[in-house]
Structure 1
Amino acid sequence: MGLFGKLFAGPQVDMAKSDANRKKMRELFNEVVENGQDYKLIFGFTEDIGWFNYGFVHGSKTKIGNLIVGWNDNSQTIVVVPTVPDLSGCGDATFYRRNEIRKAYQSKYPTDAFIIYPDRKGYIGINVCDWLEDEKLYVYVSQEEEVKEFTDFFLKRFQTK
């Protein structure tokens, strides 16, 4: 790759930082999930769009929630643990077992998200991606292979469509 190739390659992943965050994700997940080491992990995020109307101003404000998402093929379970971009802490785990959910599918619009309806009252949308550069909003981790593995797992084992 010549000089121009390097200039136009765009931002590059800092693999040392990514690996350190992957290790922190594992530690946090294992703290709140019994037998956490039995789950594969991926970073995901969810979006909550709040609409507002102030007279002449109409619009929306998006809130981002960072997630550590674990999945286990044998038990056909997805576990979601809320966290923050710097991985300084996490919340309680929520379990989605295949035999206990009402509906699950991969949404293509407006984003490529994995939607799970555990019951008639609520749902969760899990967005996953290879890597996001914005460390203020998202966990900094490169996960191309994990995205493929999670997508395959979800579509084969979880999707109800």
Structure 2
Amino acid sequence: MGIFGKLFKGPEIDQAKSADSKQKMRRLFDSVVPDGGQYQLVAAYTEDAKRFNYGLVHGSKTTYGSLIVGWKEGADPTVVVVPTVPDLSGCGDPEICPRSAVKKAYQNKYPTDAFIIYPDGRHYLAINTFEWLEDEKLFIYVDQGPEEQAFETFFKTCYATK
């Protein structure tokens, strides 16, 4: 391996800690979602950018929220979004979004590659999946490259409306 391979290796991932996070995600998800075991899971986050001033933005404040996202294929593909805390010590109520009830769903290309779901005419869900994030204070500590790719494929082929 050359010097560049050593310099740009990336973060060392604690696989035991990542596996523990995946088990905690499964337990939380199964505790609040009926038939939770039928769903594949991916850790994700959402962000809410609050802007000051109109026109040119002179300041902004972004808050992040951690999510457990479950999905299943079938006759009526379904996505379930469960808000949680980064250490997975608790979670909120799930938002269950069967494809047949969703008004619109697409992958937003700007400013992020968020998956956007409009479960009704009043609000939307923005889901940002990640292969790996290292900020343990804001995001779930998990290594999930294959899961992230599987969710993206599912969303684009079975769930998106445009």
Instruction: Specify the code of the residue in structure 2 equivalent to 1:42.
Output: V
Q: How does 1:2-151 map to 2 (within 5 A)?
A: 5-53=5-53, 58-74=58-74, 75-151=76-152
Cα offset, 1:52, TM superposition: 2.7
How far apart, CA to CA, are the structure 2 residues paired with 1:113 and 1:8?
26
Give 2:68's aligned amino acid.
I
Amino acid at match of 2:138: L
Q: Which runs of 5+ in 1 are unaligned?
A: none
Structure 2 letter corresponding to 1:63: T
SS in 2 for 1:28: helix
Q: TM-score, normalised by structure 2?
A: 0.92
Q: Deviations over 1:103-125 (max 9, x none)?
A: 00011110001000112221111
Q: In 2 relative to 1, CA 103–8 (structure 1 residues): closer, same or farther, beyond 3 Å?
A: closer
Query: For 1:139 and 1:58, how far apart are their aligned partners in 2?
Result: 31
Q: Which residue in 1 is equivalent to 2:159?
A: 158
Q: What CA distance in whole angstroms lies between the structure 2 residues aligned with 1:8 and 1:153?
A: 31
Give the CA deviation at 1:12: 1.7
Q: Distance in 1 between matches of 2:91 and 2:100?
A: 26
Query: Deviation of residue 4 (structure 1)?
Result: 6.6
| Whole-angstrom CA distance in 1 between matches of 2:4 and 2:108 | 38
**For the residues of structure 2 that align with 1:59 and 1:30, how far apart are their CA atoms?**
40
Which residue identity does 1:140 align to in structure 2? Answer: Y
**In structure 2, distance between residues paired with 1:139 and 1:116:** 21
Q: CA RMSD in A?
A: 1.6
Change (3 A) 1:16 1:2: farther
Amino acid across the alignment from 1:16: A
Identity %: 58
CA-CA distance at 1:8 after TM superposition? 3.6
Q: 1:115 is aligned with what amino acid? A: I
For 2:8 and 2:44, the matched residues in 1 are separated by 28
Q: Which moved more, 1:97-106 or 1:6-15?
A: 6-15
State how many pairs are aligned: 158
Q: Which deviates further from its counterpart, 5-14 or 117-126?
A: 5-14
